[in-house]
């Protein structure tokens, strides 16, 4: 799965539109993930996961910042996300199925907040982007 | 059997009442074919599916999307009895249509996303969770008779 030039344009322009809201959207996506897919909560026994939790908001910002980094390095995702890839492989070991669940909730969050911009083509590019990021983050699992 | 709470049923039913099935059905199927192009394999006789605009404007896509979403509406009337409600359709999708059940999950997620674009902030995490449960349950019901 390769990001085409059109995909890269769509991804970057989406991130431009998101602006300073990326952190909030990260938190909301996590919230949606925990509520729709309760099994994902097993990775956060040390967190307060109630809606609006400060820990979830902070973690959402972390996730968003990593995605912002990824957007800035679409031509070299493995390089840009190498440290995060190590973290997920050797320390966090989040089962790969969960990346799809968070990716889906990121898409839902963006669809809610930017319905006009979230055209089918942009949706497709973002789905590819999150898939590519997920692949990099699970690439060193075995 | 999946159990839906009163709140979950209310969240689903109240949103559904405001859904334009024809419009949303077409968008849901269209997005499936755009975002996951390999799903086009089931629709060789639909004509032009060569671009986003061709797919989203294709009358056969719109008509079939409406059909599919109308059937989904039936699920909402039988949320306590999905396996029996979809038994025949399950056999059809296995024996005649030969559709991998993975596709039901993909379509379910497209329903969620189109609802999100239409209802925006109203599509709260709680509302999404209720709909997520429903689309998963329908996908499982449609896969139940596979052999």
> Is B67 contained in some domain?
yes
Our count of domains for chain B comes to 1
Query: Whole-angstrom Cα distance, residue A85 to residue A106?
Result: 19
Distance CA B95, CA B102 (A): 16
Residue pLDDT, tens place only, B109-144 = 999 999 999 999 999 999 999 999 999 999 999 999
DSSP B98: -
- Name the CATH topology of A5-138: Globin-like (1.10.490)
* Token pair of A92 as six digits: 């966090």
| B125 found inside a domain | yes
Of A30, A87, A84, nearest to A56 by C-alpha is: A30
Q: Does residue B54 sit at the A interface (CB-CB below 8 Å)? A: no
ipTM: 0.84
pLDDT tens digits along A64-96: 999 999 999 999 999 999 999 999 999 998 999
| Closest chain B CA to residue A119 | B31
Chain A hits for B26, CB-CB cut-off 8 Å, are none
Alpha helices by DSSP H, A19-75: 22-36, 54-72
Q: Is A88 annotated as a binding residue?
A: yes
Would you state the pLDDT for residue A51? 83
Domain hosting B107: range is 6-143
Residue A1 pLDDT level (bands cut at 50, 70, 90): confident
Q: Is A21 annotated as a binding residue?
A: no
CATH number (domain holding residue B80): 1.10.490.10
Residue B96 located in a structural domain? yes
Query: For chain A, what are the domain ranges?
Result: 5-138
Q: Which residues, in sequence order, are CB contacts of A2 under 8 Å at separation 6+?
A: none
CA distance B24 to B33: 14
For A37-56, write each residue's pLDDT tens digit: 999 999 999 999 998 899 99
Task: Tell me, yes or no, whether B1 lies in a domain.
Answer: no
């Amino acid at each position: 799965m390769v990001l085409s030039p059109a995909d890269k344009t769509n991804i970057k322009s989406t991130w431009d539109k998101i602006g300073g809201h990326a952190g909030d959207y990260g938190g909301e996506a996590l919230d949606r993930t925990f509520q729709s897919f309760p099994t994902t909560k097993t990775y956060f026994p040390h967190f307060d996961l109630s809606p609006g939790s400060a820990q979830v908001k902070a973690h959402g910002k972390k996730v968003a910042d990593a995605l912002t980094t990824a957007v800035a390095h679409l031509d070299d995702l493995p390089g840009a996300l190498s440290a995060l890839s190590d973290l997920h492989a050797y320390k966090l070991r989040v089962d790969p199925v969960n990346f799809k669940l968070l990716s889906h909730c990121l898409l839902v969050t963006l669809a809610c907040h930017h319905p006009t911009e979230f055209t089918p083509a942009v949706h497709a590019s973002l789905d590819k982007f999150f898939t590519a990021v997920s692949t990099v983050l699970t690439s060193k699992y075995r | 059997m999946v159990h839906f709470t009163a709140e979950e049923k209310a969240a689903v039913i109240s949103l559904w009442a405001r859904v334009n099935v024809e419009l949303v059905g077409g968008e849901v199927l269209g997005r499936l074919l755009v975002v996951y192009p390999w799903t086009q394999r089931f629709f060789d006789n639909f004509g032009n599916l060569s671009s986003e605009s061709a797919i989203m404007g294709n009358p056969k896509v719109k008509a079939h999307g409406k059909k599919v979403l109308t059937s989904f509406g039936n699920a909402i009337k039988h949320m306590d009895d999905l396996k029996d409600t979809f038994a025949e359709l399950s056999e059809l999708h296995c024996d005649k249509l030969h559709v991998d059940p993975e596709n039901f999950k993909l379509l379910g997620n497209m329903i969620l996303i189109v609802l999100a674009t239409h209802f925006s902030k109203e599509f709260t995490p709680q509302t999404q969770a209720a709909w997520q449960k429903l689309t998963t349950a329908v996908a499982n019901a449609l896969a139940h008779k596979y052999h």
